[in-house]
């Protein structure tokens, strides 16, 4: 069975380097090709990530305008090789840090036991629509964090798209029926339901298994929102009053910076990233970098092989 992995990045050089290190150490040998989309508004950082991800297993790297993940997957999917059997999606902030994880899922698809794996997400609105779909399929979608799909079934879906999906009252959607109210589904929900409609052999997996993999959800959106002067954009950007980064995510942004800054050849960005982290820390009862280091040391054991 041949496997292709789709992965997308915003212009976060620290996360891109961190993920590349994990890929090289743990899962490169378990995929046959990797397709990368990097999108955003900082051309210098896009070029850096573009060059960083050039690799003998990497089939294509795209540099694009700022976009949502579903649109990025739509651009990547047509480049998947014809002989691929399993299409895998991987969030840039989902880390696989044990060998054999991908192989285990792909082998189960190869055996015919399962056609798809993914974590459960009930992302359809309004809630009455979500509840009806969950009652029928057990979930609205597989979250894009880490999924595995039998490609021969994906190829049966007409007008396949990984994007979000809006519907009006009275619209008909074969996997669900007629919508009784206006609403929308998040990224990959429509595709998931179309897939579930074609096969009942799909399996929900945990969002994290701390000895194998973990998803640090929201890192890319937080970078784009709070570290705006690094990604590059509106120099008059002002954060919403009272808004701040949860200390958990701030710790991870510090980890990415700490572990990769020596491989990011932009002193001005490295300096600005650290300044912004320190500014955020002040909003958490005057915390400092030393406090983050202490939390990091206490929690390393939770992620064996990652930190």
Percentage of the chain modeled with pLDDT above 70: 97
| Alpha-carbon distances of 65 from 7, 20, 72, 145, 197, rounded to whole Å | 16, 22, 10, 22, 33
User: What fold is seen in the domain 3-204?
Assistant: Spore Coat Polysaccharide Biosynthesis Protein SpsA; Chain A (3.90.550)
Q: Report yes or no: 161 and 190 within 8 Å, Cβ to Cβ.
A: yes
More confident residue, 2 or 226: 2
Check: CB of residue 6 under 8 Å from CB of residue 38: no
pLDDT tens readout for residues 42-97: 999 999 999 999 999 999 999 999 999 999 999 999 999 999 999 999 999 999 99
Q: Is the pLDDT of residue 133 over 90?
A: yes
Mean model confidence pLDDT for the chain: 94
Q: For residue 259, which of 273, 242, 248 has the smallest C-alpha distance?
A: 273
pTM: 0.94
Look at residue 236 in the predicted model and tell me its pLDDT: 45
- Strand pairing of 3-9 and 120-121? unpaired
The secondary element (H helix, E strand) that includes residue 202 is: strand 202-204
* pLDDT > 90 fraction of the chain, expressed in percent and rounded: 88
Contact 162, 145 (CB under 8 A): no
pLDDT of 239 reads: 52
The end-to-end CA distance of the chain, in Å, is: 31
In the predicted structure, residue 194 carries a pLDDT above the cut 50: yes
* Average pLDDT, integer, range 232-252: 70
Tokens representing 5 are 């992995």
pLDDT one-digit tens code per residue, 93-111: 999 999 999 999 999 999 9
- Which tokens sit at 249? 């995510």
Higher-confidence position of 232 and 236: 232
pLDDT, position 175: 98
Mean pLDDT in residue range 161-165: 98
Instruction: Give residue limits of the domains in the chain.
Output: 3-204, 217-302
Helix axes 267-282, 289-299, angle to 10 degrees: 90
Which is more confident, 216 or 241? 216
Of 64-73, 78-87, 214-223, 262-271, least confident by mean pLDDT is 214-223
Confidence of residue 242 (pLDDT cuts 50, 70, 90): low
Please give the average per-residue pLDDT across 250-267, as a whole number.
96
Confidence check: pLDDT of 305 > 60: yes
- Residue 6: phi, psi to the nearest 5? -100, 130
Kindly state the helix (H) or strand (E) to which residue 118 belongs, with its residue range: strand 116-118
Task: Cite the DSSP H helix spans in the chain.
Answer: 13-22, 43-52, 69-76, 101-110, 127-137, 151-154, 189-198, 219-226, 228-231, 247-260, 267-282, 289-299
Give the three-class secondary structure for 6: strand
What local confidence, expressed as pLDDT, does residue 243 receive?
A: 73
Mean pLDDT of 300-306: 91
pLDDT band at 244 (very low <50, low <70, confident <90, very high): confident
CB 102 within 8 A of CB 31: yes
């Amino acid at each position: 069975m041949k496997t292709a992995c789709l992965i997308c990045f915003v212009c976060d050089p620290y996360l891109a380097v961190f993920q590349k290190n994990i890929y090289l150490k743990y899962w490169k040998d378990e995929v046959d090709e990797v397709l990368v989309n990097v999108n955003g508004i900082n051309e210098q950082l896009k070029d850096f990530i573009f060059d960083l991800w050039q690799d003998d297993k990497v089939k294509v790297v795209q540099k694009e305008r700022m976009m949502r993940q579903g649109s990025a997957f739509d651009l990547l999917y047509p480049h998947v090789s014809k002989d691929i059997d399993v299409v895998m999606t991987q969030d840039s902030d989902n880390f696989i840090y044990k060998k054999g994880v991908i192989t285990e899922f792909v082998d189960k698809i190869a055996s015919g036991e399962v056609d798809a794996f993914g974590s459960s997400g009930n992302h359809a609105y309004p809630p009455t629509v979500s509840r009806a779909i969950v009652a029928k399929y057990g979930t609205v979608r597989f979250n894009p964090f880490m999924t595995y799909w039998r490609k021969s079934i994906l190829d049966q879906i007409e007008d396949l798209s990984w994007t979000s999906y809006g519907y009006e009252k009275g619209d008909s959607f074969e996997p669900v029926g007629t919508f009784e109210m206006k609403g929308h589904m998040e990224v990959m929900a429509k595709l998931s339901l179309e897939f579930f409609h074609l096969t009942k052999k799909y399996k929900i997996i945990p969002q994290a298994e701390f000895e194998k993999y973990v998803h640090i959800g929201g890192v890319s959106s937080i970078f784009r929102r709070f570290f705006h002067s690094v990604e590059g954009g509106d120099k008059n950007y002002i954060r919403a009053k009272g808004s701040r980064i949860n200390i958990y995510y701030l710790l991870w942004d510090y980890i990415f910076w700490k572990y990769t800054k020596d491989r990011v050849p932009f002193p001005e960005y490295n300096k600005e990233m650290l300044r912004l982290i320190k500014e955020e820390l002040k909003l958490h009862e005057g915390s400092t970098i030393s406090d983050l280091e202490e939390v990091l040391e206490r929690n390393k054991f939770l992620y064996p092989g990652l930190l």
